Amino acid sequence: MKLYSTQNKQNQVDFQTAVFNSMPQDKGLYMPVDIPVLRQEFLDNLDRYTLQEIAFEVSSALLKDAIPADDLRAIIADAVNFDAPVHELDEKNYVLELFHGPSLAFKDFGARFMSRVMAYFLKDGEQLLDVLVATSGDTGGAVALGFLGVPHTRVTILYPEGKVSPIQELQLCTNGQNIRAITVKGTFDDCQQLVKQAFADPELNASLRLTSANSINISRLIPQTFYYFHALAQLFRKGKRSVVFSVPSGNFGNIGAGLLAWKMGLPVKSFIAATNANDTVPRFLESGVYETRPSVQTYANAMDVGAPSNWVRIMELFKGNREEALKMVLGVSYTDEQTLEAIAEIYNRYNYIACPHTAIAWLAMQKVQEQKANNEDVYVCLSTAHACKFPDVFPEEIARRIELPEQVAEMLGKEKSATAMDADFNAFKKYLLNAEGE
């Protein structure tokens, strides 16, 4: 597999390099030089394949000889070891539940696949790989649990003290083994700044092999294509073949993977990109002007992104042409107030509890249906996280009814452990250097 930088098509690397660099030096993003279209027999008969078989079909077509078939099958068996069921709300409306992995968020697909791909390339016993992550909640949990126990790796997670939910904090601080948590007296931006400074520090880079696990890594994007095919497989079994996906979007990696899947032949009708008040992309699709803004805080806080990194990749799929993008992607955004109303409505109508991110995607597909004459289309909103991760958002009546999954029950009894630190780079650097060889 060859990948190019969106800043310069001549700048090409192999898959392994793209995985460890995350980002080209020129600050572009890696994109596959060749996006293969999958076999027609496979695309027509998705309902005959399991999630793991789909994962192999898709990833082997993309990766080509970067990882031999048997090794790739083993990576998939280990990484994709939980389901992504389609839940029926009614005949026309479905929820693709992506929260059945260890951290209860869709980021588990990306983080688990990435960690195992990295470990695969490290298997010859090279220097320990030090993964640094700043998190405002969901990314850290997925990366911590994704790398837990993965050989030749060590993860350091920085999160802002008091600013992640109790369950998110448990996911960051109860792991032990190769996972360390630092609680920073400051904001998420302070955490991110510390990590950025570490990557730029010559002394740290001389003694540690540092890597980021951030969402622009190509090995996180690829596994997110799997569940789109798997969703259609489940709908085909119900006789539904004309499908619109509604995707709650922040950094646009999730919907970016959906569009990559479409380029590979995913038989989908179209996508809805649903955002909270951070509406850079819907504004662009509407006006043609791409103007980023500082992010604003919302209830759907995993989507509080003012400058979505992956949008560049999506425009690349449409060769930079907004008109072409508009044929496939509808952009919409909703306020916090509308998000709360949507949560209440889903609960009242279907007795179903959706997290705030999911509720935004559900609301988007309702609005589209209201505007359109009834036809054969069915709508699937992607449910990106379990409601229990965002307890403060729900009214008491609904919050009481949220069932804790077994992943959480297991964590509740464990001791939390994190190192407290000021937002001070020297302290962070000392921590990283001192801990070497521990």
Ligand X SMILES: *Cc1c(COP(=O)(O)O)cnc(C)c1O
Residues that bind ligand X (CB under 6 A): 105, 107, 138, 215, 248-254, 302-303, 357, 384-385
- Sheet strands side by side (includes 419-422): 209-212, 129-134, 153-160, 179-185, 419-422
Cβ-based nearer residue to ligand X, 57 or 138: 138
Measured from the CB of residue 281, what is the shortest distance to ligand X in angstroms? 10
Spatial separation of the C-alpha atoms in residues 189 and 210, rounded to whole Å: 20
Cβ-based nearer residue to ligand X, 28 or 137: 137
Measured from the CB of residue 255, what is the shortest distance to ligand X in angstroms? 6
Q: Which residue shows structure tokens 């994709």?
A: 80
Measured from the CB of residue 302, what is the shortest distance to ligand X in angstroms? 3
Is there a contact between 101 and 384 (Cβ–Cβ < 8 Å)?
Answer: no
Q: Which residue shows structure tokens 């709508």?
A: 379
Is there a contact between 334 and 274 (Cβ–Cβ < 8 Å)?
Answer: yes
CA 40 to chain centre: 28
Q: Which residue shows structure tokens 């030090």?
A: 130
Cβ-based nearer residue to ligand X, 13 or 300: 300
Report helix angle 138-147 to 107-121, nearest 10.
40
What is the end-to-end Cα distance of the chain in Å, rounded?
37
Cβ-based nearer residue to ligand X, 66 or 142: 142
Spatial separation of the C-alpha atoms in residues 81 and 101, rounded to whole Å: 8
> Which residues are bridge partners to 32 per DSSP?
3
Residue type, 345: E
Measured from the CB of residue 149, what is the shortest distance to ligand X in angstroms? 22
Cβ-based nearer residue to ligand X, 137 or 154: 137
Cβ-based nearer residue to ligand X, 60 or 171: 171
Cβ-based nearer residue to ligand X, 58 or 393: 393
Q: Residue 14: CB partners within 8 Å, gap ≥ 6? A: 1, 2, 3, 66
Measured from the CB of residue 249, what is the shortest distance to ligand X in angstroms? 4
- Residue numbers annotated as active site: 107
Report helix angle 223-237 to 51-63, nearest 10.
140
Spatial separation of the C-alpha atoms in residues 224 and 256, rounded to whole Å: 9
Cβ-based nearer residue to ligand X, 257 or 432: 257
Measured from the CB of residue 136, what is the shortest distance to ligand X in angstroms? 9
Is there a contact between 234 and 6 (Cβ–Cβ < 8 Å)?
Answer: no
Measured from the CB of residue 328, what is the shortest distance to ligand X in angstroms? 16
Cβ-based nearer residue to ligand X, 358 or 366: 358
**Taking the C-alpha atoms of 109, 70, 67 and 119 in order, what is their torsion angle to the nearest 10 degrees?**
60
Measured from the CB of residue 371, what is the shortest distance to ligand X in angstroms? 24
Q: Which two tokens stand for residue 187?
A: 């904001």
Measured from the CB of residue 363, what is the shortest distance to ligand X in angstroms? 14
